[in-house]
Chain A
Amino acid sequence: AQTVTQSQPEMSVQEAETVTLSCTYDTSESDYYLFWYKQPPSRQMILVIRQEAYKQQNATENRFSVNFQKAAKSFSLKISDSQLGDAAMYFCAYRNLMNRDDKIIFGKGTRLHILP
Protein backbone atom coordinates (compact mmCIF):
# COMPACT_ATOMS: atom_id res chain seq x y z
CA ALA A 1 0.00 0.00 0.00
CA GLN A 2 1.14 3.49 -0.74
CA THR A 3 2.04 5.80 2.13
CA VAL A 4 2.97 9.46 2.43
CA THR A 5 5.09 10.71 5.32
CA GLN A 6 5.59 14.28 6.45
CA SER A 7 8.07 14.32 9.30
CA GLN A 8 7.68 18.00 10.25
CA PRO A 9 4.43 18.63 12.15
CA GLU A 10 5.17 22.37 12.36
CA MET A 11 7.60 24.85 10.86
CA SER A 12 8.18 28.56 11.14
CA VAL A 13 9.81 30.97 8.74
CA GLN A 14 10.47 34.68 8.76
CA GLU A 15 8.50 36.70 6.25
CA ALA A 16 10.38 37.07 2.93
CA GLU A 17 12.62 34.10 3.74
CA THR A 18 12.64 30.68 2.07
CA VAL A 19 11.35 27.50 3.66
CA THR A 20 11.38 23.86 2.58
CA LEU A 21 8.78 21.33 3.64
CA SER A 22 9.75 17.67 3.47
CA CYS A 23 7.79 14.70 2.20
CA THR A 24 8.64 11.10 1.48
CA TYR A 25 6.41 8.46 0.03
CA ASP A 26 6.40 4.77 -0.59
CA THR A 27 5.04 3.04 -3.67
CA SER A 28 5.88 0.16 -5.96
CA GLU A 29 4.24 1.90 -8.91
CA SER A 30 6.20 3.71 -11.60
CA ASP A 31 3.56 6.16 -12.78
CA TYR A 32 1.87 8.50 -10.36
CA TYR A 33 1.24 12.11 -9.47
CA LEU A 34 2.48 13.95 -6.43
CA PHE A 35 0.80 17.05 -5.07
CA TRP A 36 1.13 19.71 -2.46
CA TYR A 37 -2.15 21.04 -1.11
CA LYS A 38 -2.56 24.10 1.07
CA GLN A 39 -5.27 24.24 3.72
CA PRO A 40 -5.74 27.71 5.25
CA PRO A 41 -7.85 28.27 8.38
CA SER A 42 -10.98 28.17 6.20
CA ARG A 43 -10.06 24.45 5.75
CA GLN A 44 -10.56 24.51 2.00
CA MET A 45 -8.10 22.31 0.09
CA ILE A 46 -6.17 24.33 -2.47
CA LEU A 47 -3.84 22.68 -4.97
CA VAL A 48 -0.44 24.38 -4.83
CA ILE A 49 1.62 22.31 -7.25
CA ARG A 50 1.58 19.02 -9.14
CA GLN A 51 4.43 16.77 -10.29
CA GLU A 52 4.11 13.92 -12.76
CA ALA A 53 6.45 11.07 -11.84
CA TYR A 54 7.56 10.51 -15.42
CA LYS A 55 8.85 14.07 -15.70
CA GLN A 56 12.40 14.66 -14.53
CA GLN A 57 12.01 18.42 -14.46
CA ASN A 58 10.88 19.80 -11.13
CA ALA A 59 7.53 21.60 -11.20
CA THR A 60 7.42 25.32 -10.44
CA GLU A 61 4.49 27.66 -9.77
CA ASN A 62 5.60 31.22 -9.08
CA ARG A 63 7.15 31.23 -5.59
CA PHE A 64 6.51 27.50 -5.12
CA SER A 65 8.83 24.81 -6.44
CA VAL A 66 9.48 21.18 -5.71
CA ASN A 67 12.53 18.99 -5.44
CA PHE A 68 11.42 15.64 -6.79
CA GLN A 69 13.85 12.78 -6.21
CA LYS A 70 12.17 9.71 -7.66
CA ALA A 71 14.81 7.18 -6.66
CA ALA A 72 14.79 8.45 -3.10
CA LYS A 73 10.97 8.80 -3.13
CA SER A 74 11.29 12.32 -1.86
CA PHE A 75 9.12 15.30 -2.79
CA SER A 76 9.90 18.52 -0.93
CA LEU A 77 8.20 21.89 -1.38
CA LYS A 78 10.17 25.11 -1.38
CA ILE A 79 8.40 28.39 -0.75
CA SER A 80 10.46 31.43 -1.67
CA ASP A 81 9.84 34.97 -0.41
CA SER A 82 7.38 33.72 2.21
CA GLN A 83 4.30 35.87 2.71
CA LEU A 84 1.87 36.11 5.61
CA GLY A 85 -0.80 34.55 3.39
CA ASP A 86 1.29 31.40 3.08
CA ALA A 87 0.51 30.50 6.68
CA ALA A 88 -1.50 27.28 6.48
CA MET A 89 -1.42 23.53 6.79
CA TYR A 90 0.40 21.93 3.87
CA PHE A 91 -0.37 18.39 2.79
CA CYS A 92 1.80 16.26 0.57
CA ALA A 93 -0.27 13.82 -1.45
CA TYR A 94 0.08 10.90 -3.86
CA ARG A 95 -2.17 9.57 -6.58
CA ASN A 96 -1.62 6.37 -8.50
CA LEU A 97 -2.35 6.39 -12.22
CA MET A 98 -1.98 2.93 -13.61
CA ASN A 99 -5.32 1.45 -12.68
CA ARG A 100 -8.73 2.39 -11.37
CA ASP A 101 -7.28 3.07 -7.94
CA ASP A 102 -7.02 6.83 -8.32
CA LYS A 103 -7.76 7.99 -4.82
CA ILE A 104 -5.48 10.61 -3.30
CA ILE A 105 -3.42 9.56 -0.31
CA PHE A 106 -2.46 12.40 1.99
CA GLY A 107 0.31 12.85 4.52
CA LYS A 108 -0.45 14.13 8.01
CA GLY A 109 0.48 17.67 7.11
CA THR A 110 2.93 20.36 8.15
CA ARG A 111 1.63 23.51 9.79
CA LEU A 112 3.57 26.50 8.49
CA HIS A 113 3.80 29.68 10.54
CA ILE A 114 5.01 32.92 8.96
CA LEU A 115 6.72 35.29 11.39
CA PRO A 116 6.36 39.00 10.58
Chain B
Amino acid sequence: EPEVTQTPSHQVTQMGQEVILRCVPISNHLYFYWYRQILGQKVEFLVSFYNNEISEKSEIFDDQFSVERPDGSNFTLKIRSTKLEDSAMYFCASSERGGQGAREQYFGPGTRLTVT
Protein backbone atom coordinates (compact mmCIF):
# COMPACT_ATOMS: atom_id res chain seq x y z
CA GLU B 1 0.00 0.00 0.00
CA PRO B 2 1.43 3.42 -0.91
CA GLU B 3 2.47 5.59 2.02
CA VAL B 4 3.86 8.99 2.83
CA THR B 5 7.51 8.90 3.89
CA GLN B 6 9.51 11.46 5.81
CA THR B 7 13.21 11.96 6.41
CA PRO B 8 14.96 12.20 8.73
CA SER B 9 13.05 10.50 11.53
CA HIS B 10 14.90 12.61 14.09
CA GLN B 11 16.82 15.84 13.57
CA VAL B 12 18.82 17.60 16.23
CA THR B 13 19.95 21.13 15.47
CA GLN B 14 21.32 24.14 17.27
CA MET B 15 19.28 27.28 17.75
CA GLY B 16 19.66 29.63 14.81
CA GLN B 17 20.48 26.92 12.32
CA GLU B 18 18.47 26.17 9.20
CA VAL B 19 16.75 22.81 8.84
CA ILE B 20 14.98 21.16 5.95
CA LEU B 21 12.47 18.44 6.61
CA ARG B 22 11.71 16.19 3.69
CA CYS B 23 8.57 14.36 2.68
CA VAL B 24 7.67 12.11 -0.23
CA PRO B 25 3.88 12.20 -0.64
CA ILE B 26 1.89 9.41 -2.24
CA SER B 27 2.64 9.55 -5.95
CA ASN B 28 -0.78 10.45 -7.40
CA HIS B 29 -1.63 12.94 -4.66
CA LEU B 30 -1.86 16.62 -5.51
CA TYR B 31 -2.46 18.29 -2.15
CA PHE B 32 0.22 18.49 0.49
CA TYR B 33 0.25 19.59 4.09
CA TRP B 34 2.52 20.14 7.06
CA TYR B 35 1.34 19.83 10.64
CA ARG B 36 3.20 20.27 13.91
CA GLN B 37 2.79 18.65 17.30
CA ILE B 38 4.64 20.07 20.27
CA LEU B 39 5.20 17.33 22.85
CA GLY B 40 2.07 16.74 24.91
CA GLN B 41 -0.07 19.04 22.82
CA LYS B 42 -2.48 18.67 19.94
CA VAL B 43 -1.58 18.49 16.30
CA GLU B 44 -1.70 21.90 14.62
CA PHE B 45 -1.99 22.80 10.96
CA LEU B 46 0.89 24.74 9.46
CA VAL B 47 0.40 24.99 5.72
CA SER B 48 -1.31 23.46 2.70
CA PHE B 49 0.17 23.42 -0.79
CA TYR B 50 -1.36 22.80 -4.19
CA ASN B 51 -0.30 23.49 -7.76
CA ASN B 52 3.07 24.77 -6.62
CA GLU B 53 1.73 27.41 -4.32
CA ILE B 54 0.56 27.79 -0.76
CA SER B 55 -3.22 27.37 -0.45
CA GLU B 56 -3.50 28.27 3.19
CA LYS B 57 -1.21 28.88 6.12
CA SER B 58 -1.74 29.26 9.84
CA GLU B 59 -0.48 32.06 12.06
CA ILE B 60 2.30 29.70 13.17
CA PHE B 61 3.69 29.65 9.62
CA ASP B 62 5.60 32.91 9.75
CA ASP B 63 8.50 34.18 7.63
CA GLN B 64 10.85 31.66 9.22
CA PHE B 65 9.02 28.86 7.42
CA SER B 66 8.87 28.02 3.76
CA VAL B 67 7.71 25.07 1.70
CA GLU B 68 8.81 23.84 -1.66
CA ARG B 69 8.21 21.05 -4.10
CA PRO B 70 11.66 21.02 -5.72
CA ASP B 71 10.93 18.08 -8.03
CA GLY B 72 8.09 15.75 -8.87
CA SER B 73 8.33 13.70 -5.71
CA ASN B 74 9.65 15.66 -2.72
CA PHE B 75 7.85 18.20 -0.56
CA THR B 76 10.01 20.10 1.90
CA LEU B 77 9.56 22.31 4.92
CA LYS B 78 12.39 24.72 5.67
CA ILE B 79 12.87 26.54 8.94
CA ARG B 80 15.37 29.33 8.33
CA SER B 81 16.58 30.10 11.83
CA THR B 82 15.36 27.57 14.36
CA LYS B 83 14.20 28.57 17.82
CA LEU B 84 13.85 26.42 20.92
CA GLU B 85 10.07 26.53 20.55
CA ASP B 86 10.31 24.92 17.11
CA SER B 87 11.09 21.63 18.84
CA ALA B 88 8.19 19.39 17.87
CA MET B 89 7.06 16.48 15.76
CA TYR B 90 6.44 17.59 12.19
CA PHE B 91 3.99 15.59 10.12
CA CYS B 92 3.64 15.70 6.38
CA ALA B 93 0.34 14.65 4.84
CA SER B 94 -1.01 14.29 1.34
CA SER B 95 -4.40 13.98 -0.24
CA GLU B 96 -5.52 12.94 -3.68
CA ARG B 97 -8.05 15.75 -3.86
CA GLY B 98 -8.82 18.83 -1.87
CA GLY B 99 -11.77 21.04 -1.15
CA GLN B 100 -15.15 19.51 -1.88
CA GLY B 101 -13.68 16.36 -3.33
CA ALA B 102 -11.41 15.71 -0.42
CA ARG B 103 -11.37 12.60 1.67
CA GLU B 104 -8.77 11.70 4.25
CA GLN B 105 -5.25 12.97 4.38
CA TYR B 106 -2.56 10.36 4.67
CA PHE B 107 0.05 11.16 7.27
CA GLY B 108 3.72 10.32 7.23
CA PRO B 109 5.51 8.91 10.29
CA GLY B 110 6.75 12.33 11.34
CA THR B 111 10.13 13.96 11.91
CA ARG B 112 11.06 14.72 15.47
CA LEU B 113 12.90 18.05 15.51
CA THR B 114 14.93 18.90 18.60
CA VAL B 115 16.42 22.38 18.84
CA THR B 116 19.13 22.81 21.45
Does any Cβ of A come within 8 Å of B45's Cβ?
Answer: yes
Q: What is the CA–CA distance of A102 and B106 in the complex, to the nearest angstrom?
A: 13
Kindly provide the distance from the CB of B92 to the nearest chain A CB, expressed in whole angstroms.
10
- A98 to chain B: closest residue by CB: B100
Given contacts A97-B100, A104-B43, 12 further A-B contacts (CB under 8 A): A35-B104, A47-B106, A99-B99, A99-B100, A100-B56, A100-B99, A103-B56, A103-B58, A105-B45, A106-B43, A107-B42, A108-B41
* Chain B residues within 8 Å of A47, by CB: 104, 106-107
Report 13 cross-chain contacts, Cβ distance below 8 Å, ordered by A residue.
A31-B100, A42-B109, A44-B109, A44-B110, A47-B106, A91-B43, A95-B105, A101-B56, A102-B102, A103-B33, A103-B58, A104-B105, A106-B44
* Chain B residues within 8 Å of A35, by CB: 104
Does any Cβ of A come within 8 Å of B35's Cβ?
Answer: yes
Interface size on B, residues (CB 8 A): 29
Q: Which one of A35, A91, A100, A109 has the highest number of Cβ atoms from chain B below 10 Å of its Cβ? A: A100
Pair A102/B31 contact, Cβ less than 8 Å: yes
Counting from the closest, the 9 A-B pairs by CB-CB distance are: A45-B107, A103-B45, A106-B43, A108-B42, A44-B109, A102-B102, A102-B98, A106-B42, A100-B99
Interface size on A, residues (CB 8 A): 26
Give chain A's interface secondary structure class.
loop
Kindly provide the distance from the CB of B21 to the nearest chain A CB, expressed in whole angstroms.
15
Q: B78-104: which have CB < 8 Å to A?
A: 89, 91, 93, 95, 98-100, 102-104
Q: A21-52: which have CB < 8 Å to B?
A: 31, 33, 35, 37, 42-47, 50
- A35 to chain B: closest residue by CB: B104
* Chain A residues within 8 Å of B45, by CB: 103-105
Question: Chain A: residues with CB nearer than 8 A to chain B?
Answer: 31, 33, 35, 37, 42-47, 50, 91, 95, 97-109
Q: What is the CA–CA distance of A39 and B4 in the complex, to the nearest angstrom?
A: 16
